[in-house]
Structure 1
Amino acid sequence: MEKMIMKANSAESVNPSQSSEKLSLVTKISYGLGDVGGQMVWNLSSSYLVLFYTDSVGLAAAAVGTLMFVARITDAVFDPIWGAFTERRHTKYGRFRPWMIWGGPPLAIFTVLTFSTIPGTEGVKLAWAIVTYMIQGLLYSVVNLPYGALATVMTRDSGDRVALSSYRMVGTNFGSIILGAITMPIVLMLSGGGDVATTGGFTATAALFSIASLPLFALVFFTSKEVVQPVPEETRVSLLSTFKTVLGNKPLMLITAMLICTMTSQFGRLGVAMYYIIYSLGRVDLAGWIMPIPPLFTIIGIAAFTRFAKRLGKKKMVMISILSSSGSLLLLFFAGPSNLVVVILLSMLYGLGLFATPIVLAMVPDAIDYQEDRTGVRSDGTSYAMTSLAIKVASALGGAIGAWCLAAFGYSADAALSERTLTGINVAVNLMPAAILLLGLIPLAAYPITEAKYQAIRARLEAKMSPTGKSADDE
């Protein structure tokens, strides 16, 4: 393994001029597959952990909501610290690449432990859940934050950055499709073949998915190159100054706020979607068909609509995405679960509307370049950590709001469901996510970087890198 890693690293160039080279299709596909590996552990937790805790372990929904919130907020605080550490720690393999190899195995182990429990009272089981889930979240950051930061240092080309984000989101949604289709059938099969998912069934499924994630993380390591280099060590600013500069990056802060809104909506819905299928639709047998619908149509939406970001602008395309996806959820709420065909059609439209996530992620490198142009400081890891922090805060809020909503409407795994509880499930799955999505329009409206402004920023940065002091356009 050491020889393979050294061979992969020996091909890596550190010449900044290569940052303008186009990325190969193999590199883009491999990068996207890295998020398939991430989904093997993250989607499993996001989609099924609340259900696992309430229906298999027997924890109260309100306690699960608090657990999700505390664990993810702790994780969110960790992310900027980890981002600052990784961008300053140079290894012979790069700053971000090696964590694909180093962080994967511990993450796999704690994913399995998270989907397990120990004998004892509800308090003992809750304590086990808090510890294992919190550590799993921290380890996910150890892998995922450097993975995301890689996209900011693999190229300066704006088109390739959108492409990397698009391939990543295709990987995310492809992983969600596969997992949505196979997870519950596998859990039920490993639970004994009935209609009830057991703790052991979830644990075994987590082990299978965790093992499958490891070669995908390794693939990213072997096919990526870090060509956008940090400033020399002797001219680097202090950690405190880096944080101040990042927090003063207005576009980045607006992206962070926007991501909190949009991802809280998505995570909140994802965490309770199985309740809607099992109890509102009454069709647990169709879970493997219904769960993959939104991510499948998100892939179609990404393929169909992200290409217009260059023509219409990133900001306008994100606005279209938010309005279309939230509108679909509102129609789902008022239509109710009585007509399965309508539910499926509106779920398709909802998935199509989520096409803009790679566009939002492609705004992050633009904001990093904005910071470098304005201050001379480039903080890829710390800046990307802000988006990771946003996603973790969104995960905390989404998971907690969904579970708290179920508790507020009287959900209990041991009690028959009333009409009020079924209404609460509909609120948690459709109405609440639609309202939170619409809040994302507020920071989006204030986002200042247009396509023309970014081209000017890029030209100035290229001029600084050029030996002649001129950009390629000037020459």
Structure 2
Amino acid sequence: MRQTIIEGPWIEQKHDLEKPRKKEMWAYGVGSFGIFSVNTLISSFLTFYYTDVVGIAGAIVGTLMLIARLFDGITDIGMGSIVDMTRSKHGKARPWLLWMSVPLGVSIVLLFSVPDLDHTGKIIYAYITYILFILLYTAASIPYKTLLGVMTQHQHSRSLSNIYSTIFTMIGTLIVMTFTQPLTASIGWTGLAGFYGLLSIIALYITFRFVKERVESSTSQQDKIPFSASFKAILRNKYWIIITLFCITFYTTICLVQGAGLYYAQWVIGDINKFPIIGLTLTAPMILGLFFIGPLVARFGKRNVAIIGSLVAIVGQIIKWADPSNLPVFLVGTALAGLGVMPTLGLLLAMVNDTVEYGEYKTGLRTEGLVNSAASFGMKFGTGLGLAVVGWLLGIGGYVGGAVEQPALAIEMIKAVNIQIPLALAVIQIILMLFFRIDKEYPAILAELQRRKNE
């Protein structure tokens, strides 16, 4: 396999032809605003909306979040297989962005429009609309993630596209975290959801319109790969297994911090109106840091930059732990934690898609859709688990939505989901990344795949 690198100067030239232009990489990034800002809205505010606005008990909300997200993860795998079998004039991933954008926007509005029913009716409505949302979200997000794998095989271009997408993700997160609470006072939750739904539709259309699919398999595999063969193939992909486990821990962490943020501002800091400041402190360092991550990745590799980020996040969590109710101290720790999370947010999709080439190298099957959807299962499970833990621990602590005071145990639970549990999960993330060595192996893998294409 080493010989193929020496013998292949034409390979680098071919890679140059496959590199997308900057404007196309930025157009890919715009779509993440439509996909992931919505996820931030759900992670940060839906639990609070259900408990404190609609009046559903925290433990019931936690169970809803986990059940729905487990179902979501299963549909991810099915959607990945559908994407791999899709054949259209627009490609396999792009057309889904066009088809699903409007239904997704409508589902966001329905999600934050719980009618004035009895308690059971509200729960039923929440289950139906949340499951509808995650089905449509899956049908848009899996193709979007898959698109990164078929835009290019040039590793640095893929990393840059992921970074650009994360810049828009962070812009969306900044908008959601900073302006959602004030806007609901003037236009209400339904109006706010309509605003975000419209932005999502526009963003997804821009990605569909300006991004191309250009990567094909190195083998003569059939147009339609049986699901059983694809599933067996990803189970032989050790790096996919590692990155999926990493996705679970990482997205659990994100949803713990975001999902309990309003509760923390209200009951630990003592002023819910401080939440926009906390949100700004969390997201602003991420946005600034993303503009410097490209050179760091080129020098140190994605894995090592992600490990360094997790170490910075741990330091931030320790600072918050030192004096949890002190706002300035909490903001310093939050800024460091946000800066530490930034590398993984900026590189995770690229790392997932790097495992596509490793899987093709090992098995001869290129299944971008299933690889992304199966890894997305880890993201969705982590999201559901994080939101479920918030609801469950609030229930264990005796939290009562809308109450004037909360039990001391509920306050401690709010601290745990913001500080101690995310800290422990960051340690696990570092351990997993130590086994993710694909950066060093990738050039040789890609050279071998190019050799197979020319046999």
Q: TM-score, normalised by structure 2?
A: 0.92
Cα distance in 2 for partners of 1:68, 1:108 equals: 20
1:370, 1:457 within 8 Å by CA — same for their partners in 2? yes
Amino acid at match of 2:160: A
Q: Secondary structure at the match of 1:354?
A: helix
Cα distance in 2 for partners of 1:40, 1:449 equals: 29
Q: How far is 1:423 from its partner?
A: 2.0
After superposition, the Cα gap between the structure-2 partners of 1:414 and 1:450, relative to the gap in structure 1 and judged at 3 Å, is closer
Question: Is 1:430 aligned to 2:426, yes or no?
Answer: no
1:177, 1:293 within 8 Å by CA — same for their partners in 2? no
Which among 53, 77, 88 is matched to residue 91 of structure 1?
88
1:324, 1:353 within 8 Å by CA — same for their partners in 2? yes
Amino acid at match of 2:30: L
Cα distance in 2 for partners of 1:313, 1:119 equals: 52
After superposition, the Cα gap between the structure-2 partners of 1:445 and 1:187, relative to the gap in structure 1 and judged at 3 Å, is same
Q: Match of 1:210?
A: 197
Q: Match of 1:4?
A: none
Which among 342, 353, 375 is matched to residue 355 of structure 1?
342
Q: Match of 1:161?
A: 158
2:319, 2:332 within 8 Å by CA — same for their partners in 1? no
Which among 442, 447, 450 is matched to residue 459 of structure 1?
447
Question: Is 1:34 aligned to 2:23, yes or no?
Answer: no
Q: Match of 1:12?
A: none
Question: For the aligned residues, what is the CA RMSD?
Answer: 1.8
Question: Is 1:401 aligned to 2:419, yes or no?
Answer: no
Q: TM-score, normalised by structure 1?
A: 0.89
Cα distance in 2 for partners of 1:305, 1:210 equals: 30
Q: Match of 1:385?
A: 373
2:15, 2:154 within 8 Å by CA — same for their partners in 1? no
Cα distance in 1 for partners of 2:381, 2:180 equals: 25
Which among 149, 157, 160 is matched to residue 152 of structure 1?
149
1:258, 1:441 within 8 Å by CA — same for their partners in 2? no
Q: How far is 1:84 from its partner?
A: 0.6
Amino acid at match of 2:434: A
Q: How far is 1:360 from its partner?
A: 3.0
1:32, 1:164 within 8 Å by CA — same for their partners in 2? yes
Cα distance in 2 for partners of 1:233, 1:353 equals: 41
Which among 398, 407, 410 is matched to residue 418 of structure 1?
407
Matches within 5 A, 1:219-298: 219-230=206-217, 232=220, 234=222, 237-298=225-286
Q: Match of 2:71?
A: 74
Q: Match of 1:142?
A: 139
Q: Match of 2:5?
A: none
Cα distance in 2 for partners of 1:296, 1:33 equals: 18
Amino acid at match of 1:215: I
1:19, 1:156 within 8 Å by CA — same for their partners in 2? no
Cα distance in 1 for partners of 2:85, 2:246 equals: 27
1:301, 1:353 within 8 Å by CA — same for their partners in 2? no
Amino acid at match of 1:228: V
2:319, 2:329 within 8 Å by CA — same for their partners in 1? no
Bigger shift: residues 90-99 or 364-373: 364-373
Q: Match of 1:196?
A: none
Amino acid at match of 2:126: A
Identity among equivalent pairs (%) = 29
After superposition, the Cα gap between the structure-2 partners of 1:19 and 1:73, relative to the gap in structure 1 and judged at 3 Å, is farther
Q: Match of 2:6?
A: none
Cα distance in 1 for partners of 2:324, 2:302 equals: 33
Bigger shift: residues 279-288 or 232-241: 232-241
Q: Which has the higher helix share?
A: 2
Q: How far is 1:278 from its partner?
A: 2.1
Q: Secondary structure at the match of 1:94?
A: coil
Bigger shift: residues 115-124 or 143-152: 115-124
Which among 49, 54, 68 is matched to residue 51 of structure 2?
54
After superposition, the Cα gap between the structure-2 partners of 1:89 and 1:409, relative to the gap in structure 1 and judged at 3 Å, is same
Aligned residue pair count = 440
Q: Secondary structure at the match of 1:291?
A: helix
Cα distance in 2 for partners of 1:443, 1:408 equals: 31
Greater RCO, CA 8 A, separation 6+: 2
Cα distance in 1 for partners of 2:216, 2:268 equals: 52
CA deviation map 1:160-216 (0-9, x unaligned): 0100111111111111011112111100122xxxxxxxxxx1111101111121111
2:55, 2:401 within 8 Å by CA — same for their partners in 1? yes
Q: Secondary structure at the match of 1:413?
A: coil
Q: How far is 1:235 from its partner?
A: 7.0
Q: Secondary structure at the match of 1:103?
A: helix
